[in-house]
Amino acid sequence: MVPKMEEVIEGPDLNAGRSRVDKKNYRQFLLHNGLRVVIVSDTLIMGQHDMGVINDGSDSESDMSNESDQDSDGDHSFGDEEDGIRKAAAAMVVRAGSFHDPLCCQGMAHFLEHMLFMGTKKYPSENEYSSFIEKHGGSDNAFTELEYTLYHFDIAQEKLFEGIDRFAQFFISPLLREDSKGRELNAIESEFKLSQNSDDCRLQQLMCHTGKAAEEHPFGKFSWGNLRSLKEIPEKNDVNLSSELKTFYDQFYYAQNMRLVVIGAYSLDELQSQVVKKFSGVPALPREPSPLNIQLEDAVTWNETSHSPIEDFGMPLDPSLGKIYRIVPVKEKHNLTITWQLPPQRNWKSKPADYVAHLLGHEASGSLLSSLKARSWANTCYAGIDSGGHENASSHALFSFNLVLSEEGVSHWVEIISLVYTYIGMVRYYCHSDKGLPSCIYDELKAVHEMAYAFADEMTPEELVEDIAEDAICSYLPPERLLDGNSLLYEFDGDAIKVSFCSS
């Protein structure tokens, strides 16, 4: 049964933004509670199997042998994953991450992510959700970023609707059971200890300490959390962790602050009907108000605008920082990283940072890297803004130029930095000249982006829902450009590129 029109508000068409090899059908809509949803009909798999007829309960006795191929929600049998059948998948992204942690319990968003798996009122058994997913050939996971938390799973096609029913309860009525708290705190402690041996994580935490204190900027918060930040310090300060956990959930886990993506080998109407049925119970508004809450206007329309208080904190690093850090790595390697802070990158049409990254990271003759290679000082380089929340946030962007040095290059790091800034000065000269930066470089980049997008490798269903969900939470990306807006270039903006180079 197709949902009544008043139950949903259909959004802009997404199918025009598909790549040329993408045969899936897309639809986006708003539930009455303000939850934005993207559903994807996997037409390739639909075409490989006879969809059959939904069991309406009137099967004859001779048909009862097929009963095990259908479930109470009317799902169809699509065969086994071992036969090469793509799974169905779903992802929910919540616009609340480590930046939103209370100072008294840093790591709270990560802790809540763990606790939601520990049972709901409808399915109270601990880990029942994960056990169901695994039993039916799937997998599930979640991760906490700086400004959002993303939950996802994949599963055999015929169990998709039973899976999303269990999934929906995370956001309707989790138990947050007290007897699970200790085990999940220990799990977070284990993750923290593993990250201590990661050079990337260690560098990231150094940057956070370099920045403003957590009281001044959320960049300075301890995003992972561990036993000390979530147990020892709260207990020392008479903070009730369970109460803070529930408060955090009540403040941020509501429909208008979430985005849902579902893919399956079903028609769009059937997917929509099931999503409306399963997720209408998610509360539209916060159960408890928050001073750090996202401010939404026209939330139950496609004209929604949002303002995160994270934006108001400004840059996380002192503009005149100019510090040099020598880090002893865990792994044997010689890296030189130069980092500049920029304003948040919301110019999705021209993507000026991509242009800058292309020039700095170029490897052909005449490039900065070719000059360093000729001196036997460096082997490879990377330039740009990483997608992680520390590097790319609502308050800032951190543009890094990373060089993998030779042993000889380590002793010439001062000359290398001098060459980098000489190169940047040359580009700045062109920025300020009458001719300006050449648009032919942009045209080349644009063509490369278009080719890569048009013939991109097919993602797994789980990868696809994660990718769309992360883009859906971007407040600057218009809904009609959800599929291709972060992948393509649309217009040359020399002034924006000039600002980027002059900011560095």
**Separation between Cα atoms, residue 278 and residue 139, nearest integer Å:** 20
Sign of CA dihedral 421, 210, 110, 485: negative
Would you give the distance in Å from CA 396 to the centre of its chain? 17
Catalytic residue among 162, 184, 189, 470: 184
Edge-to-edge strands, sheet with 335-342 = 335-342, 397-405, 378-384
Contacts of 390-394 with CB under 8 Å at 24 or more apart are 390/146, 390/204, 390/207, 390/208, 390/219, 390/223, 392/344, 392/345, 393/99, 393/146, 393/147, 393/219, 393/310, 393/344, 394/147, 394/308, 394/310, 394/311, 394/344, 394/475
d(CA 495, CA 501): 10
Cα–Cα distance for residue pair 174/178, rounded to 1 Å:
12
What amino acid is encoded at 463 in this protein?
A: E
Please indicate whether residue 184 is annotated as part of the active site: yes
CA 313 – CA 491 distance, rounded (Å): 30
Q: Are strands 397-405 and 335-342 parallel, antiparallel or unpaired?
A: antiparallel
Q: Tell me, yes or no, if 113 is annotated catalytic.
A: yes
239 Cβ partners below 8 Å, 6+ apart? 104, 105, 233
Three-state secondary structure call for residue 392: strand
Q: Which of 113, 145, 147, 270 is catalytic?
A: 113
Q: How far apart are CA 34 and CA 279, in angstroms?
A: 11
Which residue(s) pair with 432 in the sheet? none
Distance between CA atoms of residues 120 and 122, nearest Å: 5
Of the candidates 29, 174, 36, 39, the one whose C-alpha atom is nearest the C-alpha of residue 94 is 36
Side-chain-side CA neighbours of 173 within 13 Å: the count stands at 10
Residues acting as catalytic residues: 113, 184
